[in-house]
Amino acid sequence: MFSSDYEHNFGQILIVDDNPDNLRLLSKMLESKGFKVKKTVSGEIAIQAAKIEPPDLILLDINMPDMNGYEVCRQLKSQEKTANIPIIFISALDQTTDKVIAFEIGGADYITKPFQELEVLARVRNQVVIYQQNQQLIQQNKILQQEITERQRVEAALLAANQQLQLFVFLDGLTGVANRRKFDEYLNLEWQRLAHKKLPLSLLLCDVDFFKNYNDTYGHLTGDDCLKQIAKTLKLSVKRPSDLLARYGGEEFAVILSNTNEKGAIYLAEDIRQKVYNLKIPHAQSKVDNFVTLSIGVATIFPNMQIAPNTLIEVGDKALYTAKAQGRNRIVA
């Protein structure tokens, strides 16, 4: 199988031997079998040549005057570019210890001189085929690794895009706070969580007073700016990560306050009311004051799974209605 495979896939061989006769003999034989051969009598030159153009195999003599074959082998194995090139020692040294050293320092095979041409050829073919198959596997692995990396990159990009999309889906376009969809989702989530923990949940419904008049007086665009400013101010008061500020409707903002009792909710509502008042946004047609003001309905419930989360909104709505009826710019719990 090797030989037939091999016919189509000749390799490059570097022969290193200080004996020119050996060099000539070996290279002639291998070239006649289709290999491309380079030869040198010097270990130093062999190392340089292998680095510049790594061959598929090195046939390496051991006894050489400038640098012996073991040393050449060690240097080749110590450098990344040449470490994987198979080395077949070909030497007159025929003691077991000589061979053991050769294998210990990374030799792939060992041939004793005087050599039989057919044996050399068979051993060379063996090593070249193994090497070329390994190189192919390494190449395939590299491509696979690149594909995995690319897939991971695409997946990360998709994930980021998805997160971005989620943000948009739950964001109010005008004010940048959470929208009604997010509000509903979060209310249901907190309702369950706090029912389980038997902790209170509070809601603030904050409605701008006489906002229709405001629009009529200053125009819809100024109305939009006013809502943005109010949202920005509410953000300053809603600081706990477990609380949620949302735009509930046109000029109505809702604040979900997790694990907060009525006292805490009233305290925050009053803080919000004052902060908005202190913006002193002129509102000439307000029947309350000359500034934009908020009315706030406060609701507090210990959630349980027998009643619907909407109950909290109904209670808040009633309180808000009362605040409006009592003259606006106030909070009612």
Name the residue nearer to Mg ion (CB basis): 243 or 251. Answer: 251
Six-digit token pair at 89? 């020692």
List the x/- string, 219-248, binding to ligand GH3 by CB under 6 A. Answer: -x--xx--x---------------------
What residue 172 binds from ligand GH3, Mg ion, none (CB within 5 to 8 A, per partner kind)?
A: none
Name the residue nearer to Mg ion (CB basis): 63 or 259. Answer: 63
Determine contact, residues 221/229, Cβ cutoff 8 Å.
no
Q: Which 8-state DSSP code applies to residue 109?
A: E
Least separation in angstroms between CB 324 and ligand GH3: 5
Q: Does 12 bind Mg ion (CB under 5 A)?
A: no
E strand or H helix at 60, and its extent? strand 57-60
Q: Which of residues 101-160 bind ligand GH3 (CB under 6 A)?
A: none
The Cα-based distances of 63 to 26, 41, 60 in angstroms read 17, 11, 9
Question: Pairing relation of β-strands 109-112 and 294-301?
Answer: unpaired
Six-digit token pair at 99? 């061979």
Name the residue nearer to ligand GH3 (CB basis): 109 or 172. Answer: 172
Choose among 312, 299, 181: nearest CA to 249.
181
What residue 61 binds from Mg ion, ligand GH3, none (CB within 5 to 8 A, per partner kind)?
A: Mg ion
Cα three-residue angle 308-191-251, rounded to 5 degrees: 80
Q: Which 8-state DSSP code applies to residue 115?
A: P
Q: Which of residues 161-180 bind ligand GH3 (CB under 6 A)?
A: 174
Q: Does 212 bind ligand GH3 (CB under 6 A)?
A: yes
Q: Does 211 bind Mg ion (CB under 5 A)?
A: yes
Name the residue nearer to ligand GH3 (CB basis): 39 or 328. Answer: 328
Six-digit token pair at 331? 């909070």
Nearest-CB residue for Mg ion: 63
CA torsion 186-191-197-199 (nearest 10°) is 100
Q: Does 207 bind ligand GH3 (CB under 6 A)?
A: yes
Residues that bind ligand GH3 (CB under 6 A): 174, 207-213, 215, 220, 223-224, 227, 250-251, 324, 328
Residues that bind Mg ion (CB under 5 A): 18, 61, 63, 207-208, 211, 251-252
